[in-house]
Structure 1
Amino acid sequence: MLDKIIYNTVLCQTFSPCGKYLIAGNIYGQIAVFDLDCILHPVIELLTPDYNRPKHLHLLGNGAQICSLASTENFLIVGTVNEISGWDWKSIVHSKLSKPAWVIKITSQSSFEQTDVNSLWYAEEENKIYAACGDNKVYVYHLEDGKLVNTFDGHKDYIHSIHGRAQQVISAGEDGLVMLWDTRTGKSHNKLEPHTNAKVARPDIGKWIGSASLGDDWIVCGGGPRLSLWHLRSLDAVTVFDIPDHGIHVSFFHDDCVVAGGAAKYLYQLSYSGEVKVELPVSATTVYSAILRTSPNNLLAIAGSSPEIDICTSFNYRDQVLHFR
């Protein structure tokens, strides 16, 4: 168990719909439930030494790593290996975990025996879950009945990232492709290959893309290639960010800024023109997850190759460190 503590890696996080709980999943099949009310608004007289540790620590049945998490009003959605499961929130926030409310088995159309569900994106208006998987495909399931309604087929290697906005979905993978999909047709209508752009390419790190996200008029992506901002319609690289990383695993838009991290000492907040607004020191040697919400509290949670999860309430500095152990 000591080795597990030292080498713990947190791959994913999400918030409960009410914002009172932070959920994190690690490579050992464990889900940690942190009570944010107790952590952010402690009663000093009742404070215990373990206040910043999980309120509950659940081990999922087969112990497969927790690759991805998503949240709906009713369910915590968990992506592991070969399956996606939905857990009632009442079950998750109690000490004893019951059985999942539903399970979707990933039936790979390829010869893959193990299909990791590397990234999940929930389309609330459609009530669909988009699963980016290790068999090079994105599967789309309707949560009302769990039926497979579409398969996005176009990547040539496993997919790291999925994100959507306004009837578009963007996926990014080990093959170096960033693909844009129309949610209505299930067809790809555009793609980027950042490693073919001399300003962006870093051949020594690789062509893989670890993260890609959509904004109103922009795409931000990075991985082996440098973190870069692309115009959504013209697909031109507008800004190449000059940050000292060795691979990007996290990137998203917030308040006219780009938030990004990976194999670096910091999580960065950057202007669209490339100015570094904030350098947040991180506990992990590599950041695999950073999630942010502004209600009911401002909260940024940063996790990765460490048992520690950094918590920031101002988004400008690290307030606390939670312990996933």
Structure 2
Amino acid sequence: MAAAAATAQPGLDAREWDEAARLPPRWSTPSLSSKRTAAPFTTPSSTMIRFSRCSSAAGMTATFGVGDGTRCRAAFCHSLCKSTYFDLSHDILPLHFSPGDHVEPILDLVNPQHEGPWGARSPIPENNAIAISKQDGSLFAAAGDACAYCWDVESGKCKMTFKGHTDYLHSIAVREANHQVVTGSEDGTARIWDCRSGKCTQTIRPVQNKKFEGSWVGCIAIDASESWLACGTSSGISVWSLLSNECIFNADCGAPVQDLLFDKNQILAVGAEPALSRFTINGVVVSQIKCAPPSAFSVSMHSSGMAAVAGHGGLVDVISGFGSHLCAFRCRGLDR
């Protein structure tokens, strides 16, 4: 492993990635799946959620991306660092994608166009994040029209619209036990929604005490017990108790936080600086580790303790539980 890490080159094309040689036998990259399926290496926004079947294995995948080669690039990058793949029985199924794989759509779920004055229709809003309910397999999309949508993947119909934010949505998470979803928005708030009624039951303002007009909530995460909510904002991290509806702490990180997740009773966060930060649930900084991407868009955690940080330039940095850099590589997509 030390030799592999030493020979890893930042400019390495991911198509030449030798997984067996560079990763421990117990850890393969598709297992590094996580809560969110946003494409960290493609800049175009998507106007639809696309379910596809990979010809090399039975199963389905939810990906973002439209245009020539974009969809395949998003799917391939996801298999390397951060994806969750779903089949119609609502089970999570990890898949490998290879350059020769043929990906065909099975179901396209297109956001509705709202009708405005004089019968004019709005543009189809992009999807910025998606989440899946493990209970009934419903798919939730956080869209650019300030709404969230609940889809039935069996029928392909939109079951519910969550409307109340005043600006577009960045993130969404499911709180299974309480039949709720949580959304984070550009309007600086996170909202908790009842999936049965579609109504907002609570509005959280994690940056209300900040003297910064352009505040936003860019990412959210719910812990395994579904008792804590972490919000990544334009200035740092805010953690809330979902049981008492109280703010536990606000941490100023000095840069926007672009993704975070819970690792047991701690929080891992990345953002607009080349660092992976770890916090306790009370806001104490445990560690800050420099990472390869100058701006990190997503972080994933494996049960072995290793983390993958992906960001600007298609860079992926794999970091051990002890803070050492195991390898770094660049994902360039399948169309190059």
Normalised by the length of structure 1, the TM-score is 0.72
Shift of 1:108: 2.7
Q: Percent identity?
A: 24
1:80-91 to 2 correspondence within 5 Å? 80=65
Conserved in 1, the CA contact under 8 Å of 2:52 and 2:103? no
Assess, with a 3 A threshold, how the Cα gap between structure 1 residues 234 and 310 changes in structure 2: closer, same or farther. Answer: same
Conserved in 2, the CA contact under 8 Å of 1:64 and 1:81? no
Assess, with a 3 A threshold, how the Cα gap between structure 1 residues 242 and 71 changes in structure 2: closer, same or farther. Answer: farther
Distance 1:188 1:143 in 2: 24
In structure 1, the partner of 2:196 is: 184
Q: Where does the alignment leave 5 or more consecutive residues of structure 2 unmatched?
A: 1-13, 30-41, 76-84, 88-93, 116-120
Assess, with a 3 A threshold, how the Cα gap between structure 1 residues 214 and 64 changes in structure 2: closer, same or farther. Answer: closer
Shift of 1:140: 0.9
- Is 1:143 equivalent to 2:153 in the alignment? yes
Distance 1:162 1:35 in 2: 34
Compare the two structures and name the one with the higher helix fraction: 2
Conserved in 1, the CA contact under 8 Å of 2:318 and 2:328? yes
The alignment of Structure 1 onto Structure 2 pairs a total of residues equal to 269
Cα deviation code 1:116-175 (max 9, x no counterpart): 210011112211111101111111111222221111111111100101122221100101
The partner residue of 1:263 within 264, 272, 283 is 272
Shift of 1:190: 0.4
In structure 1, the partner of 2:283 is: 274
In structure 1, the partner of 2:314 is: 307
Shift of 1:99: 1.5
Shift of 1:96: 3.1
Conserved in 1, the CA contact under 8 Å of 2:15 and 2:99? no
RMSD: 3.5
Relative contact order (alpha carbons < 8 A, sep ≥ 6): 1 or 2 greater? 2
Conserved in 1, the CA contact under 8 Å of 2:52 and 2:105? no
Which SS does the other structure have where 1:306 is aligned? helix
Assess, with a 3 A threshold, how the Cα gap between structure 1 residues 87 and 113 changes in structure 2: closer, same or farther. Answer: farther
Which SS does the other structure have where 1:109 is aligned? coil
Conserved in 1, the CA contact under 8 Å of 2:140 and 2:172? yes
Compare the two structures and name the one with the higher strand fraction: 1
Distance 2:145 2:287 in 1: 37
Distance 2:322 2:113 in 1: 40
1:1-325 to 2 correspondence within 5 Å? 36-41=19-24, 65=44, 74-80=59-65, 92-93=97-98, 95-109=100-114, 111-165=121-175, 166=177, 167-196=179-208, 198=209, 201-203=210-212, 206-215=214-223, 216-243=226-253, 245-294=254-303, 298-314=305-321, 316-325=323-332
Distance 1:293 1:78 in 2: 21
Which SS does the other structure have where 1:227 is aligned? strand
Assess, with a 3 A threshold, how the Cα gap between structure 1 residues 248 and 32 changes in structure 2: closer, same or farther. Answer: farther
**What letter matches 1:156 in structure 2?**
T
Conserved in 2, the CA contact under 8 Å of 1:170 and 1:181? yes
**What letter matches 2:159 in structure 1?**
V
Which SS does the other structure have where 1:261 is aligned? strand
Which SS does the other structure have where 2:207 is aligned? helix
Distance 1:34 1:65 in 2: 25
Which SS does the other structure have where 1:194 is aligned? coil
Distance 1:266 1:308 in 2: 13
Conserved in 2, the CA contact under 8 Å of 1:87 and 1:100? no
Distance 2:229 2:284 in 1: 17
Assess, with a 3 A threshold, how the Cα gap between structure 1 residues 92 and 314 changes in structure 2: closer, same or farther. Answer: same
Shift of 1:313: 3.7
Distance 2:298 2:16 in 1: 16
Deviates more, 1:119-128 or 1:315-324: 315-324
Distance 1:32 1:119 in 2: 26
Distance 1:108 1:265 in 2: 38
Shift of 1:287: 1.6
Conserved in 2, the CA contact under 8 Å of 1:69 and 1:120? no
Shift of 1:241: 2.0
Shift of 1:38: 4.8
